[in-house]
Structure 1
Amino acid sequence: MHWISEEKSLAAVLASLTLITAAMGSPVKFPSAGVRITKRNVSAVDKVVPAGNDIELECKANGPTPPLIHWLYNGEHVEQSPLDHLSSNLMAPGNFPNDRSQNYYASVSTLIIKETDSSKAGIYTCVADLEDERQTKSFNIQVTQPLLGDDSSQQIKRTEAIDEDPRIYLYTEQVYEFEGVSTQLICRATQGFNKPPPSITWTINDQPITNNTAGFQLMSNGDLKILRTSNVLHMAEVKCIAVGSNGKTDVRKPFIYMYEPTE
């Protein structure tokens, strides 16, 4: 694993942890931790959770080019679907102008840890990559005994639902970009590591995007390659739709703002 340790300042990583309390019905969110980290040895944030619950880790990264995010558990890569390999977490460089000061991309990734117990305690790290920079944020997950009164049957039902339903775990949330460049919208989905990945489709203003749609290319990992940005994309309703084998869907709508390059 290659780590970039030089002090840089392009991307910011925001990470938060949600404890999914199935018996109570609504997630309990821990306070978000907004940080700018470029060094590997920064101490992890301690989080203590009761055993038997599911945990959702969320990581947000932004920068002047599309950030790509993956997760580590005690230093080892976490694969969230059969297509989630480090080799697929690469992006061909776009034809971006040299001045990126007016451009902004935001990516979001989530990691669900199901039915926590002592074997799943440890260091979970969000790794956000730009073209020449790596930023990280770690959580030290500590597991305690479950609280008295937890309804285990509801916890099992909630976990099964997470396993079966499609879930988009990495996606582009916002884009502010020049017209006339090539770029990529990220959309990666899973319905459980041991199951085939959901099918992913894209639409623009409710019209399907195919490889025959001018200006677009559908990637095998679910991403959408934009061959040349234009004002057609400005404020358009673009959707990434993941369809699971059970017919259920998960949808993300990146906000896209296009503008003409300055002279």
Structure 2
Amino acid sequence: MNDSLFVRFLAVKRFRSFFAALKDGASFCPKDSSSSFAVFLSLILGVLPGLSYLLLPIDSLDTPVFVLLVSMLGGFLLRSRVTESGRNRNQLQLGFWKRLSLIHTGVAVGCIPLVILLILAPEQFTSVKQGLVAADAPGLGRPSPWRVVLFVLLVSTWAGLTEEVLYRGVLLSLIRRWSAWNSRQAATWSAVLLSSALFAFCHIPLWGPVLSLGLFFVGIGFSLGFVASGEDLAGVVLYHILFDCLSLSVALFLI
């Protein structure tokens, strides 16, 4: 009885199921393949949002939002011309709730380093709050709570949609389909690491280098959930929106 409760507490069954699905997903061999030129273009699109923060004079969120939109649309068009339409075999074998469970586990694993950073250095979130308020409403003083809630919902939805389409739906998908790979495992893990690194890079100007390191692991969590669920893009978009709602609420209301 105690062993059973302990095993349940540690979610051993959930993690076994997750890593089994991740192994299957990483070994999946897609019928389509992407050229070196397509992969190069996807990398350029993945870097653009971060460069817009660093190189362009920005006094609001309008410029990076526009650049992110252009990158997402360009990436979506690129992916539609390279990859096959429809769900892959692994996703078809998994039910809706099973895919969400796998994504949930992957995101939870990826959030562990960020939670540790929050515990050890909560002041890091203060700079995020100041940057958000300054970028969104300079000179307006203290906004009403309802305006802040609306801001959190809009930013979370927008970021969840655009970032997941770009970094998981485009970058990760195209890199792991690159025709130059000789190993499916190497292709998947390289795609996970590279897409997560670019995901973290685009957050450095607002989140800073320390929290962006935490977001690198969060990106890995989203990527692992994406792979384990058979590339369920809608699922990772949903969880990204929930994650951003939670993290922005912590930064704006609790710190």
TM-score when scaled to structure 2? 0.25
Which of the pair is proportionally richer in strand? 1
TM-score when scaled to structure 1? 0.24
Of structures 1 and 2, the one scoring higher in RCO (CA 8 A, sep 6+) is 2
